[in-house]
C-alpha cells in the first residue's frame, strides 16, 4: 500500500519522552492529519501490530524495546467555535501543547483553564487523565471530544457523560482503554473571569504579588507557573514525568488511625473519604532526594521521580515499586502510579 505517512523502523524515542528513557520503537510514525492517522492504523492492522499513541511523552514510562507501531499524534489547530456573553466554546486539536493552549485561550478572553497552566503534555492526553490542579479539573469545562476508533478507523464523539470522568481518571483508562485515539477536544470556557482561588498556596502567592487588586487570568496563570516551577524540575534539565503517584483516598477509619499516629498528616475530605497528599507520605517515609542507581525522588518534591542519567524504563519501575512498598509498610496505604507504562 502507498502511504501518505512515513513509517520508520527501529526508531529511537529517547527525545520523545520527558523521562529521557532510551526506548526503541519497532515501527514509528508521526501523523499530522486525521487521514495520516487512519492510514497508519491501516498499516498496523495489516502488520498485526499493537498501537501505542504518543503525544508529549510526559506521562509515560517506556520499555527498552516496544514491539509496536508508536504513533506520535501531531494534529494541530485552535479555533473559537462560538461566543456569547456567558461562554466561549473552543476546540483544540490533540497535538497542541497544553500550556500553549491555555495561554491561547486567555488571549481569546476565554477563561477557566488558567489554574491548569504549565501542566506538561498535549491536549489529546488531557481528558484521558482528567488533568487537574488548584481546584480545577478538565471535566469542569469539557464539552466533547472526537476520537478515532482504532478497530474501525471511524471518528466517534464522546460528551462529558460518556467520558465517565473521575479523579485522574476517565473511560479511556477503563472500559475504552487502548480502543481510541483522541483527535480533538472542545471546551466551554467562561466569557467573564471568575477566579478559582480555593488553594491556600495560590491565594497567598497572588496576594503577595498583587495585594487586593483585581486579578487578570494571565496573573493567575503566571502565579501557577511560578509555584509549579519551584516544585517541579524542568524535563529539559533533568528527566522526569511530573507527579509520579496519585493522591490516595482512604476511609474515615483509616484517616483516624493515621491522624493519631501522624497529627501533621496532609489530607482533605472528599465526600465520605479523605484524600492524602502522596508527596507528604513519600517525604515522611524518608524518601525525598533518595537515589538508587540512576533513578531517584526529586530533592524539592518527593512526588516526582527523576532520571539522573542513563536510566531505563525497568529502572524507573523498579524504583517506583520500592517507593510503593516503603509507603505501604509505613502507613498501610497503597499508592498508584500516574504515568502509563509501555513495555
For 69-93, the pLDDT digits (tens) are 999 999 999 999 999 999 999 999 9
Per-chain mean pLDDT for the chain: 94
Buried b / exposed e over 93-122, threshold 16 CB at 10 Å, is bbbbbbbebbbbbbeeebbbbbbbbbbbbb
Radius of gyration of the chain (CA): 21
Can you tell me the mean pLDDT for 175-191? 97
Check residue 140 and report its DSSP letter. Answer: G
Q: Is the pLDDT of residue 263 over 70?
A: yes
- Is residue 271 very low, low, confident or very high in pLDDT (cuts 50, 70, 90)? confident
Region 239-342: CATH code: 3.90.78.10
Region 78-190: CATH code: 3.30.465.10
pLDDT, residue 214, reads 80
pLDDT, residue 212, reads 78
pTM, full prediction: 0.90
* Predicted confidence (pLDDT) per residue in 284-332, tens digit: 999 999 999 999 999 999 999 999 999 999 999 999 999 999 999 999 9
pLDDT, residue 278, reads 96
Q: What does the domain layout of the chain look like in residue ranges?
A: 8-73, 78-190, 239-342
Q: Is 168 a catalytic residue?
A: yes
Residue 53's Cα: distance from chain center in Å?
14
Residue partners of 256: CB distance under 8 A and separation at least 6: none
What is the assigned CATH class of domain 8-73?
Answer: alpha beta
Residue of 322, 252, 243 lying closest to 285 (CA atoms) = 322
Q: Is the pLDDT of residue 17 over 70?
A: yes
pLDDT, residue 226, reads 93
Using CA atoms, how far apart are residues 316 and 307, in angstroms rounded to an integer? 8
Q: Look at the alpha carbons of 102, 104, 107, 111 in this order and tell me if their dihedral is positive or negative.
A: negative
Catalytic member of 105, 117, 205, 243: 243
Q: What is the largest CA-CA distance in the chain?
A: 67
Can you tell me the mean pLDDT for 105-127? 96
Q: Phi-psi region for residue 289, left (φ > 0), alpha (ψ -120 to 50) or beta?
A: left
Can you tell me the mean pLDDT for 187-200? 90
Q: Are 308 and 225 in contact (CB under 8 A)?
A: no
Catalytic member of 83, 314, 338, 343: 338
Cα 249 to Cα 254, 325, 334, 338: the distances in Å are 10, 17, 9, 14
Using CA atoms, how far apart are residues 146 and 166, in angstroms rounded to an integer? 19
Q: Is the pLDDT of residue 12 over 80?
A: yes
- Local structure of 104: helix, strand or coil: helix
C-alpha cell at 258: 493515621
Q: Is 338 a catalytic residue?
A: yes
pLDDT, residue 3, reads 59
Neighbours of 258 (CB within 10 A): 19
Q: Is the pLDDT of residue 1 over 90?
A: no
User: Do the two domains 8-73 and 239-342 of this chain adopt the same fold?
Assistant: no
Residue partners of 78: CB distance under 8 A and separation at least 6: 90, 91, 92, 93, 96, 101, 104
Q: Is the pLDDT of residue 97 over 80?
A: yes
Can you tell me the mean pLDDT for 37-49? 95
Q: Where are the beta strands (DSSP E) in the chain?
A: 8-12, 24-31, 50-54, 60-62, 65-73, 78-83, 87-93, 132-133, 136-137, 142-149, 155-159, 180-190, 239-243, 249-250, 267-270, 273-276, 291-292, 295-298, 301-307, 340-342
Catalytic member of 26, 83, 109, 168: 168
Buried b / exposed e over 271-286, threshold 16 CB at 10 Å, is eeebbbbbbbbbbbbe
Q: Is the pLDDT of residue 2 over 60?
A: no
Residue 52's Cα: distance from chain center in Å?
16
- Is residue 188 very low, low, confident or very high in pLDDT (cuts 50, 70, 90)? very high
Q: Is the pLDDT of residue 131 over 60?
A: yes
Residue tagged 469542569 (cell numbers): 140
Residue of 319, 325, 326 lying closest to 295 (CA atoms) = 319
Quick one: what percent of the chain has pLDDT higher than 70? 99
Q: Is 151 a catalytic residue?
A: no
Amino acid at each position: 500500500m502507498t502511504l501518505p505517512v512515513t513509517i520508520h523502523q527501529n526508531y529511537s524515542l529517547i527525545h520523545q519522552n520527558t523521562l529521557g528513557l532510551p526506548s526503541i520503537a519497532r515501527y514509528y510514525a508521526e501523523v499530522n492529519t486525521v487521514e495520516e492517522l487512519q492510514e497508519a492504523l491501516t498499516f498496523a492492522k495489516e502488520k498485526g501490530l499493537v498501537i501505542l499513541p504518543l503525544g508529549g511523552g510526559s506521562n509515560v514510562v517506556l520499555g527498552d524495546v516496544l514491539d509496536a507501531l508508536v504513533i506520535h499524534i501531531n494534529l494541530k489547530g485552535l479555533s473559537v467555535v462560538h461566543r456569547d456573553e456567558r461562554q466561549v466554546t473552543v476546540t483544540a486539536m490533540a497535538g497542541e501543547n497544553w500550556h500553549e493552549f491555555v495561554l491561547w485561550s486567555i488571549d481569546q478572553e476565554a477563561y477557566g483553564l488558567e489554574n491548569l497552566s504549565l501542566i506538561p503534555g498535549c491536549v489529546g492526553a488531557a481528558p484521558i487523565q482528567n488533568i487537574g490542579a488548584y481546584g480545577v479539573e478538565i471535566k469542569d469545562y469539557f464539552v466533547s471530544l472526537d476520537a478515532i476508533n482504532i478497530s474501525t478507523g471511524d471518528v466517534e464523539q464522546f460528551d462529558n457523560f460518556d467520558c465517565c470522568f473521575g479523579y485522574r481518571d476517565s473511560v479511556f483508562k477503563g472500559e475504552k482503554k487502548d480502543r481510541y485515539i483522541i483527535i480533538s477536544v472542545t471546551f466551554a470556557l467562561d466569557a467573564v473571569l471568575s477566579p478559582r482561588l480555593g488553594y491556600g498556596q495560590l491565594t497567598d502567592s497572588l496576594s503577595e504579588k498583587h495585594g487586593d487588586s483585581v486579578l487578570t487570568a494571565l496573573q493567575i496563570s503566571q502565579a501557577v507557573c511560578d509555584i509549579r516551577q519551584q516544585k517541579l524540575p524542568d524535563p529539559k534539565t533533568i528527566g522526569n514525568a511530573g507527579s509520579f503517584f496519585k493522591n490516595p483516598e482512604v476511609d474515615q477509619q483509616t484517616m483516624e488511625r493515621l491522624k493519631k499516629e501522624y497529627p501533621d498528616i496532609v489530607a482533605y475530605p472528599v465526600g465520605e473519604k479523605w484524600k492524602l497528599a502522596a508527596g507528604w507520605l513519600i517525604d515522611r517515609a524518608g524518601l525525598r532526594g533518595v537515589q538508587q542507581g540512576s533513578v531517584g525522588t526529586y530533592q524539592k518534591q518527593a512526588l516526582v521521580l527523576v532520571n539522573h542519567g542513563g536510566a531505563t524504563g525497568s529502572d524507573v519501575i523498579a524504583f517506583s515499586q520500592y517507593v510503593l512498598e516503603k509507603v505501604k509498610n509505613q502507613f498501610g496505604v497503597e499508592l498508584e502510579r500516574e504515568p502509563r507504562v509501555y513495555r
